[in-house]
Chain A
Amino acid sequence: GAGVSQTPSNKVTEKGKYVELRCDPISGHTALYWYRQSLGQGPEFLIYFQGTGAADDSGLPNDRFFAVRPEGSVSTLKIQRTERGDSAVYLCASSPAASTGELFFGEGSRLTVL
């Protein structure tokens, strides 16, 4: 596609529910990143994929958060037992390879946990 696509753009859920956020990177980009951005803050690193494998998941805040990229393209960020503190914009980014520099961001998925 023309750019990184994220769905849904907005998600409102209740505390304790399960949520999935999807990222469709730019075609051919092997590196994929998930960030979380709270209001007035910079993007906070969550997880990085190189191909199908999670090369670095050190940013995931706890075991309620999990992400997959089974075929090396689309990725899904999964959040179990959501809490109000999970409310944020979840940004996905991709790049052609890990060492080329620029990250191409999607528009983000705004998650609100009531």
Chain B
Amino acid sequence: GENVEQHPSTLSVQEGDSAVIKCTYSDSASNYFPWYKQELGKRPQLIIDIRSNVGEKKDQRIAVTLNKTAKHFSLHITETQPEDSAVYFCAASRWNNNDMRFGAGTRLTVKP
């Protein structure tokens, strides 16, 4: 089955700096790669996703890049703000989602 590895496990940045979180996956048939944000005690919520037919997707301060050959994808957050502080999870699955596997998470702290 799919195996997703994520790093770093913790990341601390100064407000206004950029943050980058990286994930690798094992199943070359995976073609859907979402990122979820989970605030303390809250449910995970989708923040951005990318399908394998594109290499990059951007939504305001958040972007995701995908390298299918190397089987890795990354989340980029620019101009970080304290409210970006949370745990971020990457995930990978095939088209039908039923085998979606999550990374172990990255705890991002943005210091004011």
Is A99 a contact of B95 with CB atoms below 8 Å?
A: yes
Establish whether residues A101 and B34, one from each chain, have CB atoms under 8 Å apart when the complex forms.
yes
Q: Judging by beta carbons under 8 Å apart, are A101 and B49 in contact?
A: yes
A110 CB, min distance to chain B CBs, angstroms: 10
A-B CB contacts (within 8 Å), total count: 63
Q: Is the CB of A41 within 8 A of B105?
A: yes
Q: Does B112 contact A (CB under 8 A)?
A: no
Given A95-B97, A99-B95, verify A42-B102 contact (CB < 8 Å). Answer: yes
The reply to whether A107 and B101 form a contact with Cβ atoms under 8 Å apart is no
Contact across chains for B104 and A42 when beta carbons are under 8 A apart: yes
Query: Does A12 lie at the interface of the complex (its beta carbon under 8 Å from any beta carbon of B)?
Result: no
Contact of B49 among A40, A102, A105, A108 (CB under 8 A): A102
Overall SS of chain B's interface: loop
Chain A residue nearest to B32 (CB atoms) is A101
Which residues of chain A have C-beta atoms less than 8 A from B1's C-beta? 58
Question: Interface 1/0s, chain A 36-51, versus B by CB < 8 A?
Answer: 0000111111001010
User: How far does the Cβ of B7 sit from chain A's closest Cβ, in whole Å?
Assistant: 12
A91 at the interface (CB under 8 A from B): yes
B-chain residues with CB within 8 Å of residue A102 when the two chains form the complex? 34, 46, 49
Q: Provide the B35-63 mask, 1 if CB < 8 A to any CB of A, else 0.
A: 00000001111100100000000000000
Closest to B99 in A: A56
B96 interface residue, CB < 8 Å from A?
Answer: yes
A44, A102, A107 interface centre (most CB from chain B within 10 Å):
A102
* Interface status of A55 (Cβ within 8 A of chain B): yes
* A–B Cβ pairs within 8 angstroms, 7 of them: A33-B98, A41-B104, A45-B102, A48-B98, A56-B98, A98-B98, A108-B43
Identify the 6 closest CB pairs spanning chains A and B, nearest first: A42-B102, A105-B43, A48-B98, A98-B96, A102-B46, A56-B98
Known: A55-B98, A105-B45. 16 other contacts (CB 8 A): A31-B97, A35-B102, A42-B4, A42-B6, A42-B105, A45-B102, A56-B99, A58-B1, A91-B44, A98-B97, A100-B97, A102-B49, A103-B44, A103-B46, A105-B44, A108-B43
